[in-house]
């Protein structure tokens, strides 16, 4: 478990997943992001006011080292590109694709992971609920969900609503939020809350454990989903 390497592409939602994984005993983490911490990140990401202006990878590295100083944590303050992806994914047992959907890089990230036979975990913060799916070389990929990363993200939310409703879940809160977001033009990032970030951290860490133990996992189009039951009734 200590040597099981997790690569984090994107340290927004990825910042919450990284801490949950570290606290669960995963000690080999590689953090990659070129962004800096902004005030608007603090409501849901794993940073504090003192981190504002710092590179996210540096701030998260320092926080995680305060939790476990012996952990093998590395970081790169760069944006992932088609040219540097393979370098940063080298040796990964699993990769977390938490790259912003403002470009095509999430799709490229998946493709390179498939070429390197690295399973990909795709997390989503759904406000009051958390989502994670696993993509492998053998599974369905997300290209059927849309031509752009933003379109894929929106269609993943619709896919989640449809599947969860079929299982008897009350998805009215998420449906309303999605409808309002689309009506507003869907130009900015959708609403994200710390509640979902916590759920996603747990979901992804559970997936890492299953992969480590070589236990059966759900792969896309199946997914992992968690919500507070108090809001589901």
Q: Domain holding 87: CATH number? A: 3.40.50.720
pLDDT for res 133: 97
- The C-alpha angle with vertex 29 and arms to 119 and 127, in degrees rounded to 5, equals 70
Question: Tell me: the pLDDT tens digits for 145-162?
Answer: 999 998 999 999 999 999
Residue in this structure with the two tokens 């996603």, named with its chain if needed: 200
Q: How far is CA 37 from CA 45, 52, 145, in A?
A: 9, 5, 30
Q: Is the pLDDT of residue 1 over 60?
A: yes
Residue 230 has pLDDT above 60, yes or no: no
Closest to 9 measured CA to CA, from 76, 65, 91:
76
- pLDDT for 233 beyond 50: no
Task: Give the residue with greater pLDDT, 230 vs 82.
Answer: 82
189: which 2 tokens?
A: 């990032």
Residue 53, number of CB atoms within 10 A of its CB: 10
Cα separation, 196 vs 187, whole angstroms:
21
Instruction: Extract the tokens encoding 154.
Output: 């929106």
| pLDDT tens digits, 107-158 | 999 999 999 999 999 999 999 999 999 999 988 889 889 999 989 999 999 9
Q: pLDDT tens digits for 169-225?
A: 999 989 998 998 888 876 666 778 899 999 999 999 999 999 999 999 999 999 999
State the Cα–Cα distance between residues 107 and 114, nearest whole angstrom: 11
Q: Once rounded to an integer, what is the mean pLDDT over residues 51-72? A: 98
Question: What mean pLDDT is predicted for residues 19-30?
Answer: 98
pLDDT of residue 123: 98
| Res 192: pLDDT | 87
Instruction: Quote the pLDDT of residue 42.
Output: 96
Q: Which domain does 98 fall in, by range?
A: 5-231
The number of folded domains in the chain is 1
**Which strands make up the sheet holding 224-226, listed edge to edge?**
72-76, 28-32, 5-9, 94-97, 120-125, 130-135, 224-226
């Amino acid at each position: 478990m200590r040597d099981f390497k997790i690569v984090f592409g994107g340290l927004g939602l990825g910042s919450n997943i990284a801490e949950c994984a570290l606290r669960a005993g995963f000690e080999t983490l590689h953090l990659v992001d070129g962004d800096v911490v902004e005030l608007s990140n603090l409501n849901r990401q794993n940073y504090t006011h003192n981190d504002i202006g710092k590179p996210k990878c540096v701030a998260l590295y320092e926080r995680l080292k305060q939790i476990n100083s012996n952990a093998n944590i590395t970081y790169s303050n760069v944006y992932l590109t088609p040219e540097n992806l393979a370098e940063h994914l080298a040796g990964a047992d699993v990769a977390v694709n938490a790259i912003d959907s403002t470009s095509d890089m999430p799709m490229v990230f998946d493709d390179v992971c498939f070429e390197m036979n690295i399973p990909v975990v795709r997390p989503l913060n759904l406000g009051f609920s958390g989502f994670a799916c696993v993509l492998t070389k053998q599974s369905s990929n997300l290209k059927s969900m849309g031509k752009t990363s933003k379109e894929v993200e929106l269609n993943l939310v619709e896919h989640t609503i449809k599947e969860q409703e079929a299982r008897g879940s009350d998805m009215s809160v998420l449906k309303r939020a999605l409808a309002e977001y689309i009506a507003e033009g869907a130009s900015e990032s959708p609403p994200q809350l710390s509640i979902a970030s916590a759920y996603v951290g747990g979901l992804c860490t559970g997936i890492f454990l299953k992969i480590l133990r070589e236990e059966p996992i759900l792969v896309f189009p199946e997914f992992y989903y968690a919500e507070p039951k108090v809001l589901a009734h």
